Structure 1
Amino acid sequence: MEGNTSYWQENLRLIFICLAIWFVVSFGFGLLLVEPLNAIRIGGYKLGFWFAQQGSIYTFVALIFWYSAKMNQLDKKYNVEES
């Protein structure tokens, strides 16, 4: 029972990290910090615009792969079998 509690605590920690990163990128960079970021241009586009349109999507996809890899490590650590 103690192993299950530890497993879920680590799982929830990973989920919180993913949500925090996604919030910072999508809401923070895409809305709150858009004006300062628009002073920087990449490929002819303002960086604030890029984060609002593309950056949050790319970050979300990257977080999916990162979370999957971390969960595989966590499953091995706690000997969780696939069902």
Structure 2
Amino acid sequence: MDKSKAAAYWKANLNLIVSLLAIWALVSYVFGILLAPALNGIRLGGLPLGFWFAQQGSIYVFVILIFVYAARMQRVDEQFNVHE
């Protein structure tokens, strides 16, 4: 792989990582901590929504993001012809 193609591959990888980490930060920090008091007026499964995001939601989102990362990286690998 030449240097320009390797740089483009790395840029695509970093863009994906940054976007997924931003989603995780939004769910875990913003919804779970900063907006928790406002979200606690809504109930999900008998629990306040702010509490749910802090305790369960961020973990669920993190696991989903792992699968999203794997699927998207498979497509990026195929696009740059570095797949197995």
The secondary structure found in structure 2 opposite 1:79 is coil
TM-score when normalising by structure 2 = 0.95
Deviation at 1:81, TM superposition (A): 3.5
Query: Pick from 12, 27, 30: which aligns with 2:29?
Result: 27
Q: 8 Å contact 2:9–2:76 — kept in the other structure?
A: yes
Q: In the alignment, is residue 18 of structure 1 matched against residue 20 of structure 2?
A: yes
Structure 2 spans left out of the alignment, 5+ residues: none
Classify the secondary structure of the residue corresponding to 1:5: helix
Letter of the aligned partner of 2:50 in structure 1?
A: G
**TM superposition score normalised by structure 1:** 0.96
In the alignment, the residues of structure 2 paired with residue 22 and residue 9 of structure 1 have an alpha-carbon distance, to the nearest angstrom, of: 20
Counterparts of 1:59 and 1:17, CA distance in 2: 13
Structure 1 residue ranges, 4+ long, deviating more than 3 angstroms after superposition: none
Q: 1:80 aligns with which of 68, 79, 82?
A: 82
Could you tell me which runs of 5 or more consecutive residues in structure 1 were left unpaired when the two chains were aligned. Answer: none
Equivalences, count: 82
The one-letter code matched in structure 1 to 2:41 is A
* RMSD of aligned alpha carbons: 0.7
